[in-house]
Structure 1
Amino acid sequence: MRWWMLALLFFARIALGFQFQTAASVGGDLVTVFGIDYSDVGFLIGLFMVPGLFLALPAGAMGRYVSDRGLAFAGLSALALGGLVSGFGSGPVTIGLGRLVAGAGFLLSTLYFTKMIADWFEGREISTAMSILVMSWPFGIAMGQVGHAYLADLQDWRLPFVVASLYCAAAAAGVLLFYRAPAGRKAVQGANSTRLSRRELHLILLAGTAWGVFNAGYVAYLSFAPHRLEELGHPALQAAAVVSVASWIMIASGAVCGQIVDRFNHRNLVLIVCMTAAVVSLWLMGISGAGVAASLLFGLVGMAPAGVIMALAGEAVAPARRAFGMGIFFTVYYAIMAAAPPLAGWIFERSGTAGAPLVFGMILFACVVPAALAFRFVKTGERAVTSREDGQ
């Protein structure tokens, strides 16, 4: 049953990336129709992430009163509504309002999808399950990159928002009709608590930090690796194509990495190897002729442990407090994601070369390892204390 639930939530979570990609895919049309510039388009894209910084903790606390299925349904419904508001908007302000509504739905959906998979796979292949779930996001973005441009050419810029909203609505209906909580978890639902122990708080903060810097490093790669290749003489389209190779490969490599960790353990070793590969990949981007090799290494190895890192959130907090713990986890994630990209942009402007923000990306990826090692140290200490108490 748990694999059926994972499949359901995977296809439902594709909606998040599919809706997110709309503004980026029709950005050129918005510039033409409304007379805005590309910085305004970037602002509209970024609005999608703003609600998460403020709503993650309240969303986690809501798990005390509403079922996971109900909250995931509400999140997907907000994604559908936000897309329609943007799609039928009369200007940038209305489109931005729709992006905020959709962003709130994104936060609610991704928080409870993560919790639902953690509940189903607790102690059993959780790294594999999280890896598969996490890859639904780039899958949805890739779908949008291909589909939204076609839809916009077929009619106009509004159609991609409408189609994405229809997908979100179908996903909401699917979750509402077919999702079932694991046996024994329904009783816990009504007892959800916001009182984390000190160790749980430390663990969830470390997990959120690891996930935040990992994703911030990925954004640095996506944002500045193409510029670095252009500095080395690659045409813009070729540079973008080379960098995109990693995003396609990581969809498969993430699931493989999760399976390796679940079968053979050695989580820390896997993370050290993968983050070393990520750092080396960004360094190779600065060497003429090494762009394709760097992108392949980044997608095959560097980004492979996404689900392994996300699985830390499921390990950090007991089931009765997991919803609120996820709220803290995503608050840390959004705080890092709000600060790191502007800092990378500032580094780029000050240095005058894309190599400098890529060095910043290397530092971000390197920070994943101490955060994960500290997580495992605290977790191991907790087990040791529990064992001593049980022996008394």
Structure 2
Amino acid sequence: MRWRMLALLFFARIALGFQFQTAVSVGDDLVTSFGIDYSDVGFLIGLFMLPGLFLALPAGMSGRFASDRVLAFVGLSALALGGLLSGFGSGPMMIGLGRLVAGAGFLLSTLYFTKMIADWFEGREISTAMSILVMSWPFGIAMGQVGHAYLADLQDWRLPFVVASLYCAAAAAGVLLLYRAPSGKPAVSRGSSSRLSGREWQLILLAGTAWGVFNAGYVAYLSFAPLMLEELGHAPLQAAALVSIASWIMIFSGAVCGQIVDRFNHRDLVLIVCMTGAVASLWLVGLSGKGLAASLLFGLVGMAPAGVIMALSGAAVAPARRAFGMGIFFTVYYAIMAAGPPLSGWIYERASTAGASLAFGMCMFALVVPAALMFRLVRLNGRENAPKEDNG
């Protein structure tokens, strides 16, 4: 049953990446249609993450009053509504409003998807399960990288938002009708869930930081690797297709990486190797003729440990306080993600080359390693209270 629930949530969570990618894929069209610049496009991308700064904690506490299934349904429905608002918007303000509504839905659904998997796989193959779940995000983004560009060329920039919203609505219906909570766990937890120990606070903040900078680096790659390839002479569709190769590959490399950590541990060594690969990938993008090699390296190595990093959130806080801990985790994540895209867009505008923004992405990936090593140090300092599933 747990693998069936994982499959359901994987296909539902594809909607998150598919909806997020809309503004990234049609950025050039928005610049042309509304006379905005790329820092404004970066702001619209970042608005998707902004609600998490304010809603992550309330979302985590809402698990005391409604089931995970209902809250995930509400989140996916908000993603659908937000996409429609953007798609039928008459200007940047309405598009931005739609991004905010969709972002609120993204927060709610991704928080409870993560908790659902942590509940189903607690103490057994958690890195593998999280890796598979997390790879639904790049799967959706890869669909959008190629599909949104095709849809925009077929009609205009509005169609990708509408199609992504239809997928979100279908995913919402699927979760509401088909998801079941694991036996032995209440559908709604009404116990105390907000009193974290000092050590749990340290762990969840470090886990959120690692996840935030990892994703900030990923968004820098998604946003500026195509522009870098265009600077080197590739056509826009060709550049998008090259970059999307990494997103397809990481779907499989992530599951393999999770299995390696679950079976052999050595989480920190895996992260050091993979983040070195991520930095090297972004550097290779800027070299003529290396776009395919960069995308292959990024997909096979650089993004492989996404689920391993996400699994830190499950190891940081005791199960009774997991929903609230997830709220803290995603607050940190969203704070970083709300700042990252506008900053990388600002860097691009000032430097007039996508290479500068890719260098920013390299720095983000490099910061994953010290955050993970500090997480391990805090765990070791309180080893007697550490959950058994630590993969350090």
Q: Same fold (TM over 0.5)?
A: yes
Aligned to 2:284: 284
Cα distance between partner residues in 1 of 2:316 and 2:29: 44
Aligned to 2:136: 136
1:361 to 2:367 alignment: no
- Gaps (5+ residues) in structure 2? 388-392
Indicate if the aligned counterparts of 2:209 and 2:332 stay in contact, CA closer than 8 A.
Answer: yes
Aligned to 2:216: 216
Structure 1 residue 213 displacement after superposition: 1.1
String of CA shifts for 1:96-129, please: whole Å, max 9, x gaps: 3222211111111011111111111111111111
Q: Which deviates further from its counterpart, 271-280 or 160-169? A: 160-169
SS in 2 for 1:185: coil
AA aligned to 2:102 is A
Indicate if the aligned counterparts of 2:46 and 2:338 stay in contact, CA closer than 8 A.
Answer: no
Matches within 5 A, 1:179-328: 179-186=179-186, 189-229=189-229, 233-237=232-236, 238-328=238-328
Aligned to 2:97: 97
Aligned to 2:390: none
String of CA shifts for 1:46-100, please: whole Å, max 9, x gaps: 3222212221111112122222112111111111222233334444433332222
String of CA shifts for 1:20-52, please: whole Å, max 9, x gaps: 2334445566566x6443545544333222212
Cα distance between partner residues in 2 of 1:241 and 1:197: 47
TM-score when normalising by structure 1? 0.88
- Gaps (5+ residues) in structure 1? 388-392
Equivalenced residues, count:
385
Structure 1 residue 252 displacement after superposition: 1.5
String of CA shifts for 1:206-246, please: whole Å, max 9, x gaps: 10011111111222333343454555x43353544433332
Aligned CA distance change for structure 1 residues 331 and 84 (closer, same or farther; 3 Å): same
Cα distance between partner residues in 2 of 1:353 and 1:150: 25
Aligned to 2:36: 37
Cα distance between partner residues in 1 of 2:335 and 2:216: 11
Aligned to 1:331: 331
Structure number with larger C-alpha Rg: 1
1:108 to 2:108 alignment: yes
Indicate if the aligned counterparts of 1:135 and 1:254 stay in contact, CA closer than 8 A.
Answer: yes
Identity of aligned residues (%): 82
SS in 1 for 2:382: helix
Cα distance between partner residues in 1 of 2:181 and 2:302: 33
1:381 to 2:381 alignment: yes
Aligned to 1:390: none
Cα distance between partner residues in 2 of 1:226 and 1:287: 13
Aligned to 1:119: 119
Cα distance between partner residues in 1 of 2:86 and 2:227: 30
Cα distance between partner residues in 2 of 1:172 and 1:322: 23
Aligned CA distance change for structure 1 residues 220 and 154 (closer, same or farther; 3 Å): closer
Structure 1 residue 261 displacement after superposition: 1.2
Aligned CA distance change for structure 1 residues 380 and 229 (closer, same or farther; 3 Å): same
Structure 1 vs Structure 2 CA RMSD: 2.7
